[in-house]
Amino acid sequence: MVEVVEKGLKRFGVTVSKPALGVICILFGILVLLKTELLQLIVGLFLIIEGVLVLTDYLEIRSQQSSS
């Protein structure tokens, strides 16, 4: 999962080291445990970002196939 997120972020010019990404995940996990109402926000943001990354990847592969 970490590799997918890193690959997607690099596509947008954002680089995050694995330790930094790990710390971010731990912090989000703690926030969800402390304040359960944040779960909707965090999961919603994750799904939106992941959806954009998947669609971007699909469109990029499709445009490369059509130009060959």
Global pTM reads 0.54
Residue bearing the bigger pLDDT, 22 or 68: 22
Per-residue pLDDT tens over the stretch 2-23: 666 666 666 666 666 778 777 8
**What was the pLDDT predicted at 16?**
64
Top-confidence residue, 47 or 9:
47
Instruction: Tokens for 30, please give them.
Output: 């703690």
pLDDT digits over 26-42, tens only? 888 888 888 888 888 88
- pLDDT of 1 above 60: no
Q: Write 36-44 long-range contacts (CB < 8 A, 24+).
A: none
* Pair 21, 5: CB distance under 8 Å: yes
